[in-house]
Structure 1
């Protein structure tokens, strides 16, 4: 793919058009990023250490013809990142019943698969993604060369007409593997967790049926299906260590989530994956 000729991301400046001043809406806060607003047809987000790396990635996705991601427009006078606004609906903090749709679940898997196809061959060069201090190990190795979203929660998926059409909040994007990103997506959407931690109204869903729907829609290989329980338990252990580190080192939303008990939730998820490993493999393979 030949990239389009653009002004480098670090040099782009965005000026508000006159009609935008009266059309401002505070958007729901994420777990970590606050003060995100819609201004007209744009979204304004506080600058992050990885902002320029994300901007390069979004440029690549645009060049690849992937329509499910925002476009980076530049920085405004306040120094905020300016991106295009993707119209549609996203789930709230406690996803409603409409988010349980199996058709929507399958479309999420297919959207993530298209993202991974569009991401192929993208190599961050001018603005590499910051490396997390706990980036060692099999889940975060130097061989993890595919840049992915890594936070495809119900709150970060734009839905229109009952289908997933877009992804927002690329703050956690970075090099990984397609299986890691797709597993992480399934973890949120199936969801894969101890039933004690289910969202209200989600308690009676069949996670094994939903996992099979997701796996088939994404196209996991037999090898990926067989190693899912072990991979998921290892991912939970790493997630626990990263959340604990971020809470201590970064504070803010990370510290709030840790104080609210996210560590215990992750530990219960790891235990649930190990106890149900046989059921998970049978659901994926039978």
Structure 2
């Protein structure tokens, strides 16, 4: 649908943050973003969330005259760079778990429209390790970075940047959130406020706040390892095929960080699993 601009023109303000944000600007109370290969899925998802009454996502308003998608601006604060000290706050961490749960409850009834599928515009590379063997349960966000969660008064209240949305399992979603907020990473690669935190404890706090099932808790480490192994291949492929911010991340060593995360996960698997599954 075509977006009708208000009578009074507003200046375009470049939005900072995130790793792949070229062309993302704020115009008044809206955000303009380039349309991508996964946009049909994202637009249908955002329309469903609006109809479901989920307040924690932007509204899709249409396509502007420049061919960009128009979304409502979600006010609040995000953890930009340099990362704020509050990234380590456990109350904020648990609010992330509650927000993910609220999103899952809102999206539970969403069915992809006929002819719409997840499409990220790059091919699966040869030699890609296997995916976790658990079937999709819902359409997930799958990009719970600190840049993509909006806080107000210390509480996680909004999700932005649904570009990676696709059918997935709940355990994949929780693993993704833990990867950034626990974090599941070699401490050398963690955001500075998270260098000294108790990662297994933070995994448990997030799982409890979400209400994670016993079955998914037992699968978490397995899924984290499988997804980490696959991400090295997919990040290299998308950097080669799409360039831009993806290529910059690869050049800056994201592949090496992924390998270090795999080694770290293997070393700490028992402790993380014990924290998640303890009575």
* TM-score of the superposed pair, with normalisation by structure 1: 0.90
- Residue 18 (str. 1) matches residue 7 (str. 2): yes
CA distance in 2: counterparts of 1:278 and 1:139, whole angstroms: 19
SS of corresponding position for 2:200: helix
Q: What's the Cα RMSD here?
A: 1.8
1:1-286 aligned within 5 A: 12-22=1-11, 24-126=12-114, 127-130=116-119, 133-134=123-124, 137-139=130-132, 143-286=135-278
SS of corresponding position for 1:25: strand
C-alpha deviation, 1:20, in angstroms: 4.3
1:147-170: per-residue Cα shift (whole Å, max 9, x none)?
A: 111101110001000000000011
Where do 5+ consecutive residues of structure 1 fail to align?
Answer: 1-11
CA distance in 1: counterparts of 2:136 and 2:239, whole angstroms: 25
SS of corresponding position for 1:16: coil
1:73-109: per-residue Cα shift (whole Å, max 9, x none)?
A: 0011111100001110111134210222111111111
CA distance in 1: counterparts of 2:133 and 2:274, whole angstroms: 28
CA distance in 2: counterparts of 1:99 and 1:201, whole angstroms: 6
CA distance in 1: counterparts of 2:77 and 2:208, whole angstroms: 25
SS of corresponding position for 2:142: coil
C-alpha deviation, 1:136, in angstroms: 8.6
CA distance in 1: counterparts of 2:247 and 2:82, whole angstroms: 20
Change (3 A) 1:151 1:13: same
* TM-score of the superposed pair, with normalisation by structure 2: 0.92
Change (3 A) 1:94 1:139: farther
C-alpha deviation, 1:145, in angstroms: 4.6
Where do 5+ consecutive residues of structure 2 fail to align?
Answer: none
Change (3 A) 1:140 1:16: farther
Structure of higher RCO (CA pairs closer than 8 Å, 6+ residues apart): 2
